[in-house]
Structure 1
Amino acid sequence: MNEALNIKQNRAFGAIERRIAMRYLRAKKTQGGVGLIAAISFICIMLAIAAMIIIMSIMNGFRDDMIRLTIGSEGHMYVASSAPQPTAESMMAMENRLAAVPGVDEAFQFSENQTGLSANNQFGFGQVIGIRPENLRSFEMISQSIIEGSLDNFGVGAGSDHNIAMGRRLAMSLGLSQGDKVTIYSPRTRTTAFGPPQPIRKNYTVGAIFEVGLLIPDSTYIYMDLDQAGLLFNDGKVTGEIQLRLDNVDLIDKLRQPVGNAAGEPVFINTWKDRPRNAATATALRTEQIAMRFIFMIVVIIAAFPVLASMIMLVKNKSKDIAILRTIGATRGAVLRIFLMSGAMIGILGTLAGLIFGVLFCLNIGAVQTTIEFVCNCELFPAEVYQLSNGIPAKIVWSEVFGVAFWGFLISAAATFLPAMNASKVDPVDALRYE
């Protein structure tokens, strides 16, 4: 039985090797200060991992908020029928099929038309978006940003009393307030018996004015009931366009194929990233994401250098111990594993501590922000400037967190391997002779 116990303890990475590895890490100051350097290495790894998790989570939060602000009044994906004259029945059937695709929050028909408008002897340009009242109310970016009037009567009223909604900047440029009339022009014309064709125009009532804090929606958007927009701009015909909003905007590329399959007919598909005004934002966000990950990977590599230094010193100070181990029967592989475990312990514990600290920081970032603002007596991110009404955003992506943890362990293990290899090559005769 004792023999079986000894075999179990002496196996690779067994109890004896682990005990020796831990003992080496607790080397006293008189033995070269390896323990102090190991503690510093642990702190460096912990802070590097925590910083990487915190910054990446804050970046993900800012990215989500940026996308929310950029496309909060738009759709995530757009599907257009390739049929020259789609029918209302076929478009309704396609809308229902697309709404049933897993990952699609809602799908609805819409229209977009650039046009001119006038009021109070002022002329301007805007983008009329045809949409059903219930779909507009589901746009929180618009429905929660009404500063005059309300959307309760949106799409209600006959003739010039028909209610529409528009952005604050556009309303100000035309001198409009809630309840005023505005004339909207159509690119279509009407022939008359008294002269050349006249442009079709119609008066509407401003039922709501919104301000989302973004230039394009506030200065150009006009929301109109879908049927009314169809009558004004397309002679009552359906446009064949459907707007989709997804549960998770990050899955937009993966949903292209399922959406195309669910359409049931040839369609044209594009996303918010494909639109010219959003392409630069999408590219900038992606470039920043890649660059910051690369930078913090380098930071973790730099943080591993103290581990390398501590292991080099440990091997140098323990050359006599290595020689003794070799003379009593320890193999080169056993010595390699002992020193590999010594360095790996620093990496594992530092990575684990950094992981816990970083995640707890992100989960309590609101309290952290409040504490910093209280101590500094300042506001870190004014809501009116950064549009961050809920404070600093942080979104933990667990796949990234585990990727960071694996990277931290990998780098610290790699920094340990070379000194451990050198330790396994120490000649016991030379080591004892010079000691």
Structure 2
Amino acid sequence: MYKPLSLFIGLRYTSAKRDNHFISFISLTSMIGLILGVLVLITVMSVMNGFDRELRQRILGMVPHAVIKSHDPMGSWREVKEFALQHPQVEGVAPFVYAQGMATAAGNVHGIMINGIDPEAEKGVSIVQNHLISGSLDDLKPGEFGIVLGDILASYMRARVGDKITVILPEASVTPAGVFPRMKRFTVKGIFSVGAELDSTLAIINIEDAARIKRLGDSVEGVRLKLTNLFDASKVSRTIVAELGSGYYASDWTRTHGNLFQAIQMEKTMVGLLLMFIVAVAAFNIVSTLVMVVTDKKADIAILRTMGATPGNILRIFMVQGLFIGVVGTALGVLLGCLLAVNISDMIAWFEKAAGIQLLSSDVYFISYLPSDLQWGDVALISAVTLTISFVATMYPAWRASKIEPAEALRYE
């Protein structure tokens, strides 16, 4: 079978056992460096993609994409809801009453964020119903003062379904006996877990119960919107408020969690660039490998030239040898990197269980596990950049080999 001369000799040089074992060692080191660089880069980029995905699906699945409020309690929220649903990018609208306070049970006290919801409407704007460990949002009947807790919060309070907890609001109630904080006894109706920081702070009650303890009557504090494209939240909410007229204002997720999202995007970019330098260092080891090979093969180059090989043939011979290292290193790095990226979440979970430690705590981080999301676009980009760097690294040694003069190389042979 016909093989181009440059390809045949280049692959022969690569596969043949060299007398100079040091050169073989440097070639192997270059290849291992490429494998490790590509492997780590794919894994880290997948983990950063995982954090980005979890922020969008879990955190932004629990917090509002956008909120419309009024300066006074919103009594006409039903009209606002119907008006907002007419916008093509609005998928769901739900009223809410928000409060901050403390919860006490069994001698334990913990700060909480209380979200009063309409259980039926909430299913259209939140993912909480998909992450209930026990109980149901439908158990939050008006007048029964039921409450659904995050699993970490329930653990702090040592509360289970059916237990009683006391909620204290930082608002004073004046009685004949004096001024007291507003308190109410609730029954735990359910426990949810989204694997995020909200598990340790969020408590959910029926919106009518929330309005009653905050003395809002039939009014609410605002409506939350779920949008088709969460990145349009600011524009869509401002448009709706402008059409509603004065007395209303809007807020969106970019004010509460926008910095976190931007930080993840910036870290992904910076970490990718830094790790690409590691790949570049490994790729440019090919330069030193080929320079030593060219020095070692001067006599062979001279003989090939006297037999009719052109400088272009010599150039391509050593480019083939360098690219072989780059292609094999990149291919193995991509294979191992994809395997690690797909399994790293399970591996870290196994390590945490075996070692009895938790690497990511929702008390500190916004999720409690290491996510991973392998994206083939990133794999293709990493592979293309690595192969390009490998190709560039072969050019100088191959060009130097093509400039060797036969008479000069054979003078001392």
Output the TM-score relative to the length of structure 1. Answer: 0.70
Aligned match of 2:39: 50
What secondary structure does 2:221 align onto?
A: coil
1:356 aligns with 2:344: no
Distance apart, 1:343 and its partner CA: 0.8
Matched letter for residue 229 of structure 1: A
Aligned counterpart for 2:10 among listed residues 21, 24, 36: 21
Distance apart, 1:311 and its partner CA: 0.7
1:134 aligns with 2:117: no
Aligned match of 2:162: 178
Q: What is the alpha-carbon root mean square deviation over aligned residues?
A: 4.9
284-293 vs 261-270, which moves further: 261-270
Aligned residues: 401
Distance apart, 1:166 and its partner CA: 4.4
Distance of aligned partners of 1:118 and 1:305 in 2 relative to their CA distance in 1, 3 Å threshold? closer
Distance of aligned partners of 1:61 and 1:379 in 2 relative to their CA distance in 1, 3 Å threshold? farther
1-structure distance, mates of 2:241, 2:162: 40
1:414 aligns with 2:392: yes
What secondary structure does 2:401 align onto?
A: helix
Aligned match of 2:279: 300
1:274 aligns with 2:255: yes
Superposed, which structure 2 residues align to 1:213-292 within 5 Å?
A: 217=198, 220-230=201-211, 232-244=214-226, 252-253=230-231, 256-257=234-235, 265=243, 268-271=250-253, 274-275=255-256, 282=261, 285-286=264-265, 288-292=267-271
Distance apart, 1:290 and its partner CA: 4.0
Distance of aligned partners of 1:358 and 1:274 in 2 relative to their CA distance in 1, 3 Å threshold? same
Distance apart, 1:401 and its partner CA: 1.5
Distance apart, 1:223 and its partner CA: 1.9
Cα shift readout 1:53-97 (whole Å, capped 9, x = no counterpart): 22332444356557777x378325223267986843442235434
* 8 Å contact kept, 2:100–2:169: no
2-structure distance, mates of 1:174, 1:22: 68
2-structure distance, mates of 1:216, 1:357: 33
132-141 vs 258-267, which moves further: 258-267
Aligned match of 1:78: 66
2-structure distance, mates of 1:360, 1:314: 34
Aligned match of 2:148: 165
Distance of aligned partners of 1:237 and 1:408 in 2 relative to their CA distance in 1, 3 Å threshold? same
2-structure distance, mates of 1:402, 1:49: 11
Aligned match of 1:323: 302
Matched letter for residue 41 of structure 1: S
1:314 aligns with 2:293: yes
Matched letter for residue 242 of structure 1: R
Matched letter for residue 223 of structure 2: E
What secondary structure does 1:51 align onto?
A: helix
Output the TM-score relative to the length of structure 2. Answer: 0.73
* 8 Å contact kept, 1:45–1:354: yes
2-structure distance, mates of 1:434, 1:359: 51
Distance of aligned partners of 1:383 and 1:172 in 2 relative to their CA distance in 1, 3 Å threshold? closer
What secondary structure does 1:394 align onto?
A: coil
* 8 Å contact kept, 2:312–2:402: yes
1-structure distance, mates of 2:194, 2:346: 27
Distance apart, 1:184 and its partner CA: 6.3
Aligned match of 2:189: 208
1-structure distance, mates of 2:168, 2:111: 9
2-structure distance, mates of 1:369, 1:175: 29
What secondary structure does 2:279 align onto?
A: helix
What secondary structure does 2:139 align onto?
A: coil
257-266 vs 204-213, which moves further: 257-266
Distance apart, 1:133 and its partner CA: 0.9
Distance apart, 1:264 and its partner CA: 7.8
2-structure distance, mates of 1:30, 1:229: 82
2-structure distance, mates of 1:394, 1:364: 8
1-structure distance, mates of 2:323, 2:310: 20
What secondary structure does 1:30 align onto?
A: coil
314-323 vs 35-44, which moves further: 35-44
* 8 Å contact kept, 1:323–1:431: yes
Distance apart, 1:331 and its partner CA: 4.0
1-structure distance, mates of 2:236, 2:316: 50
Distance apart, 1:26 and its partner CA: 2.7
Distance apart, 1:323 and its partner CA: 3.1
Cα shift readout 1:123-156 (whole Å, capped 9, x = no counterpart): 9864331212135568555764556x654421x1
